[in-house]
Amino acid sequence: MSVLLKALLIGAALYACLVAVLASFQHALVFPRHMVGAAPPLPEHTERLTLPIGDAMLHGVRIPGRDPSRPTILGFPGNAWNAEAMALFLHQIAPSHDVVVYHYRGYAPSTGTPSAPALLSDALAIYDTLNGPVAAVGFSIGSGVAAHLAGARMLDRVILATPFDSLTKVAANSLPFLPVPWLFRHEMNAAEAMQNVAAPVTLVLATADEVIAPQRSDALVATLPQAQVIRLQAGHNDIYNHPDFVPALRRALR
């Protein structure tokens, strides 16, 4: 056997091992539960919520607002956010609204195993427990969950921060040397879900996003000509500290 052929066989074996490892660990990469921070102190009037769904028990919080006639804000956090931190963040932005956010299944104290199909179906079950108009707010991977909800239920408005058209395509952009479309098991197709949404849509994009390639956000924008699009010069994680981020969310909620 020639040296070149041996090198090719070794390279092929190493590539196959890499594919197998990443395929096995994609669950931990998509849902990095170990990175979630501690919950912050919440207002004294915060209500603790539980919702049994199949073999999982979801835990969430409701922070009541000052004006019960306003739409309830239903939040869907990023994959490394603490749900209670998002609830507090949204409450501080819009104190007149009730705010409801649940920990994703598998994210303590919620039980079960997270997956894209589970998170998408859980969002519908959570929505169905609420009364009155609902505004969905999704951050990062939560934008995919909020988009799915918008396509399946009537919403007052939809606000997506650092959104994407397809989570599979996001993964493919990040790992262009791997056959991601064949391996990825956590698809969230926000572009497809949003096609018939009648509610007002606001998209807040990070122009220097290092996690979700700008082309993925732009692809979503291209499918939603009616959406209000706000572009902020920021990265994926520091967009929340951009001075125009909170004003943009407040305008979108008005």
The CATH number covering residue 198 comes to 3.40.50.1820
State which amino acid sits at residue 178: L
CA pseudo-torsion sign 57, 75, 37, 163: positive
- The H-or-E segment that residue 153 falls in is none
Residue 10 lies in a domain: no
Q: Which of 35-39, 92-96, 242-246 has the lowest mean pLDDT?
A: 35-39
**What residues are paired with 205 via a beta bridge?**
231
Segment 146-162, tens digit of pLDDT: 999 999 999 999 999 99
Residue 62 lies in a domain: yes
Q: Which of 70-84, 101-115, 174-188 has the lowest mean pLDDT?
A: 174-188
Give me the count of residues in the chain: 254
Residue 210 lies in a domain: yes
Segment 184-193, tens digit of pLDDT: 676 889 999 9
1 pLDDT exceeds 60? no
Domain that holds residue 209: 31-253
Query: For the chain, how many structural domains are there in total?
Result: 1
Residue 15 lies in a domain: no
Structure tokens at 65: 């607002």
Q: What pTM, to 2 d.p., does this model score? A: 0.89
Q: What does the radius of gyration of the chain's CA atoms come to, in whole angstroms?
A: 19
Cα 40 to Cα 168: distance, rounded to the nearest angstrom: 32
Sort 104 into a burial class: Cβ within 10 Å, 0-12 / 13-18 / 19+.
buried
